[in-house]
Amino acid sequence: RHVVRTGAAGQVFTVMDARVWLALLISMLFSCLLSYLVTNKFAGHLYRIEQVLERSKEGVLPPTLQVRKGDDLREFVELLDGSFKTIAAALAGINAQQGLAAQKLTELRGRIRGDANGEMREAVEEICRHLQELEKILASFKLPAAVAPSPHKE
């Protein structure tokens, strides 16, 4: 062992101590680098997910969410993507049905206007008000272009 005396207190610093400190320094640098890379891998996805969720609060649904193969959050992003697709498809269906109902109701209103029966006219007008409220609710959503409304005729 090589011993080097330093300072007035006579501290002993050995070559072995230098190796231990060097190993600790290298380990700490490697840990910092690894932590940076791992957190960046998560942080990028989390930031994108946060942006998508912020836009979805405003009614803007994403057309699709994608991640690279092997990414850590792949299952979570696929779950979110499936949820958004289900919601978008449901809203598109509701939107299509609302359009059909509005069309039929407009035709019915035209026929009833000449009718003397006020009760039926009032009921149709009430349905019109409910339909207008539904239109307002649906207008707050911006559906992805890939989700085309599919009208269901009964």
Instruction: Dump pLDDT digits (tens) for 18-55.
Output: 778 888 899 999 999 888 877 777 777 888 888 988 98
> Is the pLDDT at 113 greater than 80, yes or no?
no
150 vs 143, higher pLDDT: 143
Whole-angstrom distance, CA of residue 42 vs CA of residue 131? 44
Question: How confident is the prediction for the chain on average, in pLDDT?
Answer: 76
Q: Which of 80, 81, 55, 100 lies closest to 146, judged by CA?
A: 81
The number of beta carbons lying within 10 Å of the beta carbon of residue 84 is 20
Q: Which tens digit of pLDDT belongs to each residue from 52-85?
A: 889 888 888 888 887 777 777 888 888 888 888 8
Structure tokens that stand for 38 in this block: 């791992």
Q: Which of 108, 69, 93, 100 lies closest to 147, judged by CA?
A: 93
The residues, any chain, with a CB within 8 Å of residue 21's CB and separated by 6 or more, are none
Q: Which of 57, 49, 54, 51 lies closest to 78, judged by CA?
A: 49
Q: How confident is the model at residue 154 (pLDDT cuts 50, 70, 90)?
A: very low
- Phi then psi for 114, rounded to 5 degrees? -80, -10
Whole-angstrom distance, CA of residue 45 vs CA of residue 65? 10
139 vs 115, higher pLDDT: 139
Whole-angstrom distance, CA of residue 113 vs CA of residue 62? 43
Q: According to the model, what pLDDT value does residue 13 have? A: 55
Structure tokens that stand for 147 in this block: 């989700």
Q: According to the model, what pLDDT value does residue 29 have? A: 94
pTM, rounded to two decimals: 0.58
